[in-house]
Structure 1
């Protein structure tokens, strides 16, 4: 199956390529097909993922895969949540987003710094698909007081996987793809593919 991946985020595209691997699905980045990002006006991860997938499918005529994901911090009432990529104002400025997050958690003790990454992945067979495949995944951990590691992207340097005692940026990509919110959601989606 050939489909358009409704994302311009290089980190996500790399993860999707790795995660799709031997699934028989060939993902093409929407930018390669001249599709630009659509404004994310939904109020939930599901709504935003559907908006992005429908937009890409409508403009390309291909099935579309989209995700919406974010970091939800308990001490901040679930923020940055839907606004994770633009938490500090500019879209995709990971360093500024991390700085704002660490400032917001200044003085919060370690035991109250719990957080989780959430991902919703949507697959549409066509733009008007009334039965999209929707899969979700979460990765629970805690927010560190400072950055650790050089891998990954986004909030990875400050997200601690407590079972391994390492930040997401310190975990090699193959293991991260099995543990991560996006990896879990995509694994669930792969299990649904026979329904297509």
Structure 2
């Protein structure tokens, strides 16, 4: 099936301010205006999928149907090898009352219980774009790295302070927005974060030309 061009204002199917900020920054060079499910007061749908892509699709289709606008949804999470991929799909659920400090402590506690020595971890992002007529597009990105303790940095959001991507001495929590998810479109390898890598695929497939300057 051919890709469908994404045009006009879109709704980001999220109630997460940090995720919304990143998505707006990624969309800005393409002149795409974005509102969010949270700003429109939409309810959070039940995420009953068994994969990141399934949960992203659930959220995107719900927002598209409710607003009559194309919707973009990101479902993402931190996967730790020694925890058999947890917290994974349940990354947000581990942050009870959106307390990611407690969630990070739980990751450390679970690793300590297993006396884990391999700290390999990765972030996954599944981006789904859904239109009101039911059409959807899926793009996925992944960044490999390692769990680190104690948490480092106050930038970013979520589990960023405990994730150090491969080849970097800083955690996501110590990086500027540009360093974490900025994309130099002249460099085909540019874009460090999982969300930036998924977005690069999305932009190449369905967005129009970037604004100059």
TM-score bucket of the superposed structures, by smaller chain? over 0.9
Match of 1:174 among 170, 174, 178: 178
Are positions 1:152 and 2:163 aligned together? no
Q: Which residue of 1 aligns with 2:203?
A: 190
Measured against aligned partners, the alpha-carbon deviations of 1:36-82 in whole angstroms (never above 9, x if no partner) come to: 21111111111100100111011111111001000111111111100
More helix by share: 1
Q: Which residue of 2 aligns with 1:136?
A: 140
Match of 1:102 among 108, 118, 143: 108
Are positions 1:2 and 2:2 aligned together? no
Q: Which residue of 1 aligns with 2:185?
A: none
Gaps of 5+ in 2: 1-7, 182-190, 209-213
| TM-score between both structures, scaled by the size of structure 2 | 0.85
Matches within 5 A, 1:1-196: 1-87=8-94, 90-106=96-112, 107-109=115-117, 112-129=118-135, 132-177=136-181, 178-193=191-206
Kindly state the Cα deviation for residue 100 of structure 1 after the two structures are TM-superposed: 0.2
Q: Please give the alpha-carbon distance, in whole angstroms, between the structure 2 residues aligned to 1:91 and 1:38.
A: 17
| TM-score between both structures, scaled by the size of structure 1 | 0.92
Kindly state the Cα deviation for residue 164 of structure 1 after the two structures are TM-superposed: 1.6
Kindly state the Cα deviation for residue 83 of structure 1 after the two structures are TM-superposed: 0.1
**Quick check: 2:52–2:75 contact (8 Å CA) kept in 1?**
yes
Q: Please give the alpha-carbon distance, in whole angstroms, between the structure 1 residues aligned to 2:132 and 2:139.
A: 17
**Quick check: 2:30–2:207 contact (8 Å CA) kept in 1?**
no
Aligned-CA RMSD value: 1.4
